[in-house]
């Protein structure tokens, strides 16, 4: 079965270093707490708010061994008034037998406000 594994973080600035660093941290925590192997991942969607334009956050994923052939797509979030700024979100589609309620979604930095009901192990 395919399950969605979600995560989000905020970026300190619209620079390539800040975007890649924040995304790399989020990605590492998502795969660690959910014990995700690249061969179990169908695809990854990464979205950013419209104020993040200096780099593709998917570039961070390519730093991880074994993730070269996992399909990744970057996109932009809808610019909803008063929504969280400087935010990167990840949605991984993972083949797993884990129940939906047992997936560990990760929200870091300023993105903890997005889903305080889900919490996080990190």
Domain residue spans of the chain? 2-113
Residue range 43-48: mean pLDDT, rounded: 98
pLDDT at 117 exceeding the cut of 80: yes
Which of the following is catalytic: 3, 16, 74, 87? 74
- Per-residue model confidence as pLDDT tens digits over 51-102: 999 999 999 998 999 999 999 999 999 999 999 999 999 999 999 999 999 9
Per the annotation, the verdict on 115 as an active-site residue is yes
SS (H, E, C) the chain: CEEEEEEEEECCCCCHHHHHHHHHHHHHHHHHHCCCCHHHEEEEEEEECCCCCCCCCHHHHCCCCCCCCCCEEEEECCCCCCCCCCEEEEEEEEECCCCHHHCCCEECHHHHHCCCCCCCCC
pTM, 2 dp = 0.94
Per the annotation, the verdict on 107 as an active-site residue is yes
Which of the following is catalytic: 24, 25, 69, 77? 77
Q: Which CATH number fits domain 2-113: 3.30.70.3340, 3.40.50.1860, 1.10.150.20, 3.30.1330.40?
A: 3.30.1330.40
């Amino acid at each position: 079965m395919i399950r969605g594994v979600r995560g989000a973080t905020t970026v300190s600035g619209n620079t390539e270093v800040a975007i890649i660093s924040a995304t790399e941290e989020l990605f590492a925590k998502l795969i660690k707490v959910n014990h995700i192997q690249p061969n179990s991942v169908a695809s990854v969607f990464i979205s950013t708010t419209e104020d993040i334009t200096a780099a593709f956050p998917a570039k961070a994923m390519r730093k991880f061994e074994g993730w070269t052939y996992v399909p990744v797509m970057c996109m932009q979030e809808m610019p909803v008034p008063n929504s969280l700024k400087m935010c990167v979100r990840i949605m991984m589609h993972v083949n797993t037998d884990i129940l939906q309620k047992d997936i560990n979604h990760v929200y870091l930095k300023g993105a903890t406000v997005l889903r305080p009901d889900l919490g996080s192990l990190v």
